[in-house]
Amino acid sequence: MQSSKTVVITAEMSSQFDDIATAKLTSSSLAFLESETTAQTAIATFSEVLGAKPVWARYEMSRIIFVESLAGEGLSGDAINQRWKRFKDQLGVDVPKSDNPESQARAKARAEATAKKRAEFDGKSIDQLKADIKNLTANASMANLKKAGEVQKEIDTRFKEENKGQEEYRKDLIKSLTEWLKEQSTNDLATMALNYGLEVSYEK
């Protein structure tokens, strides 16, 4: 299912990939959708074409190719966005910030709104926030349930912040492993795949 959101592709974006690179990105996107087995190869290929530190135009164009590839398979916008998030997190690339003034303004407004909302929970521990949720859900109403959701979001955000270092390490590790794997011979890669119980079909 195609998204109703209008996609704007600038000249800079459209010049990022030639036909061969575009074909590789498209096939990798579909391979990621197909199965866990083909997903790892898809991630490696996509990452190689995209590069470790793409500029915004290149990154955004690769995202559009991914989205349109999966949209062609009939997936909904939400399903595609969820898959892109999982895919992006495994690419091991540095996600650039948008250089579009409107996007930067929207990002700033979102950050300010989030900061204002989170200020309500300043000084409260995780245990206190959990107690708030318990009290709110004990007196269930639409307003209380909405507030409980906001408190839970604050707990989730704190958890992510506390584990940010580990997540950054994981991304760096994926990036390093991806680069290392590219330097290995086919025989060595096949041996490693067998050692880890991975089944990769090969057609002559």
Nearest to 103 by CA among 91, 111, 115: 111
Cα–Cα distance, 175 to 182 (Å, whole number): 11
pTM: 0.49
Q: What sign for the dihedral angle of Cα 175, 176, 177, 178?
A: positive
DSSP category for residue 200: -
Tens of pLDDT along the chain (204 residues) come to 344 456 778 888 888 998 999 998 999 888 888 776 678 888 889 988 998 889 999 999 999 999 999 998 888 888 899 899 889 888 878 888 877 777 778 878 888 888 888 898 998 999 999 999 999 998 878 888 888 999 999 999 888 888 877 877 887 888 888 888 888 888 888 888 888 787 766 655
Domain ranges of the chain: 1-99+178-204, 101-162
> Residue 145 in contact with residue 136, Cβ under 8 Å?
yes
Task: Label residue 15 exposed, middle or buried (CB < 10 Å: 0-12, 13-18, 19+).
Answer: exposed
Cα–Cα distance, 77 to 20 (Å, whole number): 26
Q: What sign for the dihedral angle of Cα 162, 168, 174, 180?
A: negative
Place of tokens 């909904």: 76
pLDDT the model gives residue 36: 61
Cα–Cα distance, 54 to 178 (Å, whole number): 16
8 vs 58, 61, 64, 124, CA distance in Å? 14, 10, 10, 43
pLDDT the model gives residue 1: 39
| Torsion angles phi and psi, residue 154, rounded to 5 | -65, -40
